[in-house]
């Protein structure tokens, strides 16, 4: 029951195991699930149910009752009016012309930042499949790390949806909407099709938008990462949506402790887990000579950051990608490895 409510976006798990797709719930949520079941029978919209659960009151239930009475009145009057209309007028068949479909509005954008880029993805040494996906098209660069039995499908869909939506609206808002649409696409399939149950994906996407559109911007959901390398220093620009990530931010764990923490795989946010997602949005301050790295956790979980810096600063993006993938495999290759390296100029 909890699983189906989570799929509907009402009772969200407190954490999700990124490897197995297993969802964790609190004890309090079991009681809430019974309330959700009753409200669903009363046909209360799920969004309202979710709000109700944050502070349940008798007043709200009375309000719903009043709305129900009003709605029946309105519907009854409308049916009466329709009945009268039918009596008074002769009914002519409607004339339907060819559909005027203007299509989606397309905006063209000029690329203000010339750069070179390279991508690489590798199954690693221990996994049977590669559930990562990578995208580099025009000014859009992204990685996705799928989870669950159909994780490879989830990550591929995430990036295909992102690409088609962003291409139609290449702007900061367009990037956010594309990310939300990718979430909805995966969530709808995960909720409706048994073989896709439990599928999800991370996403880290960077759009190298020109200065007149606010400059480069990134969105992030999950624990893939965007780094900027400048003057020999590497800085993570995205925040990990993991339980250990929040412990690092609050100072309770160091980054090195987090790397080997047994619960490092537990994500607090991913695409496909809830009906809506609010991605982190990062304005990427970027100048000539900066190098950017986007990667899935198969790289940084196995390789210390000090070693990543050495490899990522190779002469050109293609060599950097090769070295990073080789390095992750030399460190055990326990997970799929995906990297994008690009130079701003
Ligand atoms: Mg991974």
Over residues 200-232, the pLDDT tens digits come to 999 999 999 998 999 999 999 999 999 999 999
Higher confidence at residue 206 or residue 89?
A: 206
CB atoms closer than 10 angstroms to residue 176: 19
Residue 297 contacts residue 266 (beta carbons within 8 Å): no
Residue 31: what pLDDT? 79
Residue 32: what pLDDT? 82
Which residue, chain included where needed, has tokens 């020999």?
232
Mean pLDDT, range 161-174, rounded to an integer: 96
Using the 8-state DSSP alphabet, how is residue 94 labeled? Answer: P
| In the predicted structure, residue 43 carries a pLDDT above the cut 50 | yes
Residue 16: what pLDDT? 84
What is the SS3 assignment for 122?
strand
Higher confidence at residue 55 or residue 134?
A: 134
Lowest mean pLDDT among 97-111, 242-256, 261-275: 97-111
Residue 69: what pLDDT? 82
Residue 159: what pLDDT? 97
Distance CA 152, CA 155 (A): 5
CB atoms closer than 10 angstroms to residue 127: 16
Mean pLDDT, range 287-304, rounded to an integer: 94
Residue 106: what pLDDT? 32
pLDDT in tens, 127-162: 999 999 999 999 999 999 999 989 999 999 999 999
Distance CA 226, CA 282 (A): 10
Average pLDDT, the chain: 86
Question: 109 C-alpha vs ligand 1 centroid, how far in Å?
Answer: 33
Question: 318 C-alpha vs ligand 1 centroid, how far in Å?
Answer: 21
Residue 261: what pLDDT? 86
And the tokens for 230? 């400048």
Question: 301 C-alpha vs ligand 1 centroid, how far in Å?
Answer: 9
Question: 244 C-alpha vs ligand 1 centroid, how far in Å?
Answer: 16
**CA proximity to 256, closest of 303, 193, 325:** 303
Residue 88: what pLDDT? 65
Higher confidence at residue 75 or residue 131?
A: 131
Question: 127 C-alpha vs ligand 1 centroid, how far in Å?
Answer: 10
Question: 202 C-alpha vs ligand 1 centroid, how far in Å?
Answer: 9
| In the predicted structure, residue 104 carries a pLDDT above the cut 70 | no
Mean pLDDT, range 46-66, rounded to an integer: 87
Question: 134 C-alpha vs ligand 1 centroid, how far in Å?
Answer: 12
Proportion of the chain above pLDDT 90, given as a percent: 55
Question: 298 C-alpha vs ligand 1 centroid, how far in Å?
Answer: 5
Mean pLDDT, range 165-178, rounded to an integer: 96
Question: 118 C-alpha vs ligand 1 centroid, how far in Å?
Answer: 19
Question: 278 C-alpha vs ligand 1 centroid, how far in Å?
Answer: 21
Residue 267: what pLDDT? 94
Which residue, chain included where needed, has tokens 């291409």?
167
Question: 317 C-alpha vs ligand 1 centroid, how far in Å?
Answer: 21
Question: 166 C-alpha vs ligand 1 centroid, how far in Å?
Answer: 24
Residue 146: what pLDDT? 97
One-character DSSP codes across 186-200: HHHHHHH-GGGTT-E
Residue 53: what pLDDT? 86
Residue 158: what pLDDT? 97
Question: 90 C-alpha vs ligand 1 centroid, how far in Å?
Answer: 66
Residue 89: what pLDDT? 58
Question: 217 C-alpha vs ligand 1 centroid, how far in Å?
Answer: 23
Lowest mean pLDDT among 108-117, 136-145, 235-244, 280-289: 108-117
Lowest mean pLDDT among 3-12, 62-71, 230-239: 3-12
Q: Is 100 left (phi over 0), alpha (psi -120 to 50) or beta?
A: beta
Confidence at 113, pLDDT banded by 50, 70, 90: low
Sheet strands side by side (includes 337-344): 115-122, 337-344, 291-295, 225-230, 233-236
Question: 175 C-alpha vs ligand 1 centroid, how far in Å?
Answer: 23
Distance CA 17, CA 148 (A): 9
């Amino acid at each position: 029951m909890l699983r189906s409510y989570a799929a509907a976006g009402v009772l969200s798990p407190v954490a999700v195991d990124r490897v197995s797709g297993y969802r964790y719930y609190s004890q309090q949520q079991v009681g809430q699930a019974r309330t959700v079941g009753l409200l669903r029978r009363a046909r209360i919209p799920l969004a309202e149910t979710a709000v109700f659960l944050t502070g349940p009151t008798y007043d709200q239930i009375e309000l719903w009752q009043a709305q129900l009475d009003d709605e029946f009145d309105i519907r009854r009057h409308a049916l009466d009016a329709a009945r009268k209309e039918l009596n008074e007028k002769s009914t002519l068949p409607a004339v339907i012309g060819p559909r005027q479909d203007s299509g989606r509005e397309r905006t063209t954008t000029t690329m203000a930042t010339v750069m070179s880029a390279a991508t690489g993805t590798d199954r690693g040494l221990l996994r049977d499949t590669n559930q990562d996906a990578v995208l580099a098209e025009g000014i859009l660069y992204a990685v996705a790390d799928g989870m669950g039995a159909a994780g490879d499908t989830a990550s591929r869909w995430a990036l295909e949806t992102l690409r088609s939506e962003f291409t139609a609206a290449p702007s900061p808002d367009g990037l956010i909407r594309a990310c939300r649409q990718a979430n909805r696409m995966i969530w709808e399939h995960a909720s409706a099709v048994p073989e896709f149950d439990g599928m999800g994906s991370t996403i880290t996407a960077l759009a190298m938008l020109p200065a007149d559109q606010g400059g480069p911007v990134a969105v992030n959901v999950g624990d893939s990462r965007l780094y900027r390398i400048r003057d020999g220093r590497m800085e993570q620009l995205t925040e990990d949506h993991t339980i250990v990530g929040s412990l690092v931010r609050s100072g309770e764990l160091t980054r090195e402790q987090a790397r080997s923490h047994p619960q490092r795989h537990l994500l607090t946010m991913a695409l496909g887990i809830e009906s809506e997602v609010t991605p982190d949005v990062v304005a990427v301050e970027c100048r000539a000579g900066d190098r950017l790295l986007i990667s899935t956790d198969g790289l940084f979980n196995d390789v210390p950051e000090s070693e990543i810096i050495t490899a990522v600063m190779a002469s050109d993006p293609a060599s950097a990608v090769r070295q990073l993938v080789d390095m992750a495999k030399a460190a055990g290759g326990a997970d799929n490895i995906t990297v994008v390296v690009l130079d701003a100029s």
